């Protein structure tokens, strides 16, 4: 998967991460649980940071997710990811999740940019308690 915008400034790059919703991604009501969207956002963010030439060790510290329509088994989802703001130690990303060109989910997240560390050390700024999801 390649960036779909010009090379150079990471603020100009949008990446597309694609997934297919599988049966086990859904609950008894055949809709995707929110924690799967956060897992896929994590993968889309990792993919985006690599495409921008940045270290992918960034940890999510906060996320705001709005699900507009439910995803169901065998849906093909596209996570369009771009940076809203880069700072020295964190990045703000936005995700637009499309199914057949229909927007079904939007998310904004902040990630703490972590250098490689020894096992057991936490990322500075990540708080160690996991992300806050709104």
pLDDT of residue 130: 53
pLDDT of residue 76: 98
User: Considering the entire predicted model, what is its pTM?
Assistant: 0.80
* 49-74 pLDDT tens trace: 999 888 767 888 899 999 999 999 99
- What CATH superfamily is the domain 10-115? Hotdog Thioesterase (3.10.129.10)
* Burial per residue of 46-65, b for 16 or more beta-carbon CB atoms within 10 angstroms, e otherwise: bbbbebbebeeebbbbbbeb
Q: Report d(CA 54, CA 46) in Å as an integer.
A: 9
Strand (E) or helix (H) holding 96: strand 90-99
* Rounded average pLDDT over 66-85: 96
pLDDT of residue 8: 57
């Amino acid at each position: 998967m390649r960036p779909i915008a010009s090379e150079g400034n990471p603020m100009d790059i949008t990446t597309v991460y694609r997934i297919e919703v599988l049966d086990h991604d859904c609950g008894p009501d055949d809709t995707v649980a929110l924690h799967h969207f956060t897992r896929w956002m994590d993968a889309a963010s990792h993919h985006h940071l690599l495409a921008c030439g940045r270290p992918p060790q960034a940890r999510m510290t906060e996320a705001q997710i709005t699900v507009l329509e439910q995803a169901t088994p065998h849906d093909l989802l596209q996570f369009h990811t771009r940076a809203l703001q880069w700072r020295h130690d964190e990045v703000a990303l936005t995700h637009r999740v499309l199914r057949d060109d229909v927007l079904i989910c939007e998310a904004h997240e902040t990630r703490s940019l972590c250098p490689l560390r020894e096992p057991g050390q936490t990322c500075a700024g990540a708080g160690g308690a996991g992300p806050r999801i709104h």
